[in-house]
A and B are shown apart, each in its own frame.
Chain A
């Protein structure tokens, strides 16, 4: 690679939540190991388009830079993924960046993903530990399900699966794969399992697991390789059993 090689970025920008999107192109000096977040930092330092126009720096979110926090999720060359681990060497150029429009856009590549937090509240994505009961001797995790729990706990609510899912969006009230599968994580927990019926009931409501259409895009795009479809099928089993318990009142 020559030293003065440039990488072309075509970025979909938007000045405010309600304004119209437009695209701008930027060139960034190539260097080995360059990733999309690092390239965006270069653009931030010198926000000049290929036409030589000085513009406002591109806004995006990032935090951990090691695929753990989920903040830098955006649409890179049409696919929802983490910008911090999107290596320039592995991307087709010009590189197209766009916000994940399944969420409301705040500005440029920054989106408001708080809908996932609201969904986690709906499915009771926590373990109830406040109460009059004794919690000194914490119950042990089941060693047979601990592996699965560990896997699902990797979920960083980045929203890749919601962006890829055809059933998530303004046309539907589906809460999406990530929050749905979190219900299974907390149902596996030795204390959390006491609230399993509550979580399953929440998943049986409108916008719950019944809105899943089995497109299986979620498992394809999950950056943490969580076997989302497997746990969705398990939850389907669980809600069916819950429905039988409800019908026969047991």
Chain B
């Protein structure tokens, strides 16, 4: 059994497919805040049209399990590296180190984000997630807002750089030219998604 091989490939797939989808869903739904309270609450209500049991199954099967696996096996991978962009300052080596640094930040950010909003507020307190709740959370504490922006930036970079390395790992891009093209395109996507994040996060402050 080539356990190492299958675990590594599963890690790659879980990150790109499951967590990528989760990231896009988050950016899409949250960008509704640009349209104000009504638009965001409408988008949240749309999500609630999914029957609760199926929703929970999706949350566990398509988010929870892949996230835990990607996170725990990812920590093992990150510990295998001795980041050296100081000595070898090539672009890809910086991306390699950033991939691991954003990962460490995301481990703590996601424990806080999921633990507070999903498990504590929604799960235990039964709080209804709404525009007003998020606005009071962010405007009430700009540090929280900053950490959320950083968390989003980290996740977006980690995902976009992950597209580049996914293509290498799966042998999709072989030569330097195709690898360069994918890497430029994914960094453009990274910049675009970061701008969208900045826009919807600042809208909470502009529409008080």
User: Contact partner of B84 among A166, A206, A210, CB < 8 A?
Assistant: A166
Spot the interface stretch: A47-55, A58-66, A186-194, A227-235: A227-235
Spot the interface stretch: B37-45, B49-57, B165-173: B165-173
* CA of A217 to CA of B173, assembled, Å: 17
A229 engages B168 (CB within 8 Å)? yes
Q: Return chain B residues, CB-CB under 8 Å to A220.
A: 88, 90, 93
Q: Tell me if A114 counts as interface (CB < 8 A to partner B).
A: no
Helix, strand, loop or mixed for chain A's interface? helix
B4 engages A216 (CB within 8 Å)? no
B8 engages A221 (CB within 8 Å)? no
A233 engages B5 (CB within 8 Å)? no
Q: Return chain A residues, CB-CB under 8 Å to B84.
A: 164, 166, 217
Q: Return chain B residues, CB-CB under 8 Å to A232.
A: 168
Closest B residue to A246 by beta carbon equals B2
A217 engages B90 (CB within 8 Å)? yes
Q: Return chain B residues, CB-CB under 8 Å to A221.
A: 88
Interface residues on A, range: 35 or more
Interface flags for B56-93 (1: CB within 8 Å of A; 0: not) read 00000000000000000000010111111001101011
A positions within 8 Å CB-CB of B? 78-79, 164, 166-167, 169, 171-172, 174, 201, 204-208, 210-217, 219-221, 227, 229-230, 232-240, 243, 246
B positions within 8 Å CB-CB of A? 2-6, 8-9, 77, 79-84, 87-88, 90, 92-93, 96-97, 99, 164-165, 168-171, 173-176, 179
- Please give 20 more A-B residue pairs, beta carbons under 8 A apart, in addition to A204-B5, A233-B171: A166-B83, A166-B84, A167-B82, A172-B82, A204-B4, A206-B4, A208-B4, A210-B4, A210-B9, A213-B81, A214-B96, A215-B88, A215-B92, A217-B90, A217-B92, A221-B88, A227-B176, A229-B168, A233-B173, A240-B9
